[in-house]
Amino acid sequence: MILNIKKLTRGAHVLKAVALKYRWKFIGMAVLGILAGFSGGIGIGAVIPLFALMTNQSLPETNFITNAMYKVFGAFHVPFTPSYLILFIVSLFLLKALIQFSAKFFNERIVAEFEEELRNDLYHRTLETQWSYLMNQKVGYLERILLFDIQQSASIISQVNSGLLMITSILMYALVAFNISASITLLTLAIGVILFWVFKPFFYRARKLAASIGETYREASHHVTEHIIGAKVAKANGIEYALSELARKYFRRLRDARVKTALYSNIAGNLTEPIGFLFVAIVFLMTFKHPAFNIAAFAVVVYLIQKMFSFIQSMQGQIQGLGELLPYFETTVRYREQIIQNHEAIKGTKPFTYAKTLSFRNVSFTYNKREPVFHDISFSIPRGAIVAITGPSGMGKTTLADLILRLLEPTNGTLVLDGVPLQEISIAEWRKNVAYVPQEIFLLNGSIEDNIRYFNASLSTQDIEMAARMANIYDTIMALPGGFDEPVGERGLRLSGGQRQRIVLARALARRPQILILDEPTSALDKESEQLILQALQQHRGKITIITIAHGSAFTDFADYRIVVDNGTIIANA
């Protein structure tokens, strides 16, 4: 098969960033490989003078090794006897084992550091991407990349380091073997190169299968995560069998791809050993009747050939493994490029000052060049007012809230706070002063206190209790067995809908915001819970600006102003 230059180029490009960052560590691995190969090669090469000493045979074709042994022993005034030579050989192999142990430990440390660094980088960058990008991501996709694809990507470093160890070791073994028999050594290396070309189609197929496995893993992860989150709805609708059947299709694809990958891997790996044995047998048959044939030299040559073929076999596995890992690394790199391209711009340096009005001035917004959500709308919200944004579903009410939260930016027009365009105000300052209660309640699987605090280390226990009182949930919390330490369960399922809503409201109020945005805060609550929410908000009338997205009459009657959105325009503002 003709060498696929395009794929090799793409693979080299993917590895370039890693190679540059860890180049000195790779060089260190190469040095350790040279030392390991040198120790092992010289150790086995020393068997020839050992055999010569024990049998009084003359080995003129290997005088280089024998003379080298004499010089080393002479330099340290050590008798050149079989016992000391055996001790020397054992020491060399112990040194080789120590070097290989150090190299493997060093290798795993590099991989672990790379995994940690890449996970931190991707997770942090993902959280800093634009909301318009995040809202289109599949459930479980990022988790899959962080916990699996990065692990597989980091294994490329391990493969490269192992490859460096093998290449340097095989070169040192070949150097010793070349000293004993140049022709056999060159022939062994030539056969190794031929084997790489012969088995290249298997490497290619294994790589394609790896790409397929990676994509199927991501699809299966999304399917499982999505429907476990919606397990209650799935069970209520009796669709367990349908979901299981769809999952079986993913799992069957994974099984088939795994079996084929193992087939291609074993074909290449298992054929190398018999080819090596056949080569040794041919060498023996061609040389054992030769007058210069020496059993010691032949034993060493056989050992070195076996080691070189073993390295060749391992290198094939390394190359195949590298090909299987590249799709995961390419996915990781592609995802990183996407989140960099969709990075949320940190705009504005001016402080947050809200004394008069928050205004929309001729604002238009469009999602991804589709039909405009709204066009050329203008209105103002006085400080301390309670505003209800109403209108039919899908008319842009939540989009208005997202613009105020600065999760989205207008396609045209601008939002202005006391005469200052929002893009000129520090986004960090803005989000410190604007709190949000979403329609879909989000609670951590922790305690009530954890959920009100929500990673805000500056909040004291008194602050959390005060926020609970302001949200009209304090007495309910204290009636629970654990009080503020009561666990809420996964997604807050141990609490009622009204309790969850008021805990999230307490979380928002704990930040002491100047603007509070509530998206359908009572849409799924009973009248009693709705009244508790309204009572909590009544305490803040005139103190903070409250913007609610509402369908029901309770909130529209409660509000000071009502903004009606329909077909992309403001049809009422009173």
pTM of the predicted structure, to 2 decimals: 0.73
For residue 85 the two structure tokens come to 């030579």
Q: Are 506 and 468 in contact (CB under 8 A)?
A: yes
- What CATH number was assigned to the domain covering residues 357-573? 3.40.50.300
**Among 116, 196, 126, residue whose Cα is nearest residue 153:** 116
Of the candidate ranges 56-60, 104-108, 317-321, the one whose mean pLDDT is the lowest: 56-60
Of the candidate ranges 165-169, 301-305, 477-481, the one whose mean pLDDT is the lowest: 301-305
Q: Are 369 and 529 in contact (CB under 8 A)?
A: no
The residue ranking higher by pLDDT, 392 or 119, is: 119
What is the predicted pLDDT for the residue at 10?
A: 46
Distance CA 388, CA 382 (A): 13
**Among 472, 108, 156, residue whose Cα is nearest residue 318:** 156
Query: Which pLDDT tens digit goes with each residue over 493-515?
Result: 888 888 888 898 899 999 899 99
**Among 553, 411, 535, 397, residue whose Cα is nearest residue 472:** 535
DSSP-derived 3-state class of residue 222: helix
Query: Which pLDDT tens digit goes with each residue over 449-474?
Result: 999 998 888 889 999 999 999 888 89
Query: Which pLDDT tens digit goes with each residue over 408-419?
Result: 889 899 999 999
Query: Which pLDDT tens digit goes with each residue over 348-397?
Result: 889 999 999 999 999 998 887 777 888 888 889 999 999 988 887 777 78
What is the predicted pLDDT for the residue at 299?
A: 67
In the chain, % of residues over pLDDT 90 = 13
Distance CA 397, CA 413 (A): 17
Q: List Cβ neighbours of 458 (8 Å cut-off, separation of 6 or more).
A: none
User: β-strand 412-417 against 357-366: which pairing, if any?
Assistant: antiparallel
**Among 404, 396, 360, residue whose Cα is nearest residue 568:** 396
Cα angle, residue 511 at apex, residues 452 and 493 outer, rounded to 5°: 25
Mean pLDDT of 131-151: 82
Q: Are 40 and 93 in contact (CB under 8 A)?
A: yes
User: β-strand 386-390 against 545-549: which pairing, if any?
Assistant: parallel
For the chain, give every domain's residue range. Answer: 13-341, 357-573
Buried b (16+ CB within 10 A) or exposed e, 193-209: eebeeebbebbbbbbbb
The residue ranking higher by pLDDT, 98 or 393, is: 98
Q: Are 437 and 400 in contact (CB under 8 A)?
A: no
What is the second-level CATH architecture of the domain 13-341? Up-down Bundle (1.20)
What is the predicted pLDDT for the residue at 2?
A: 36
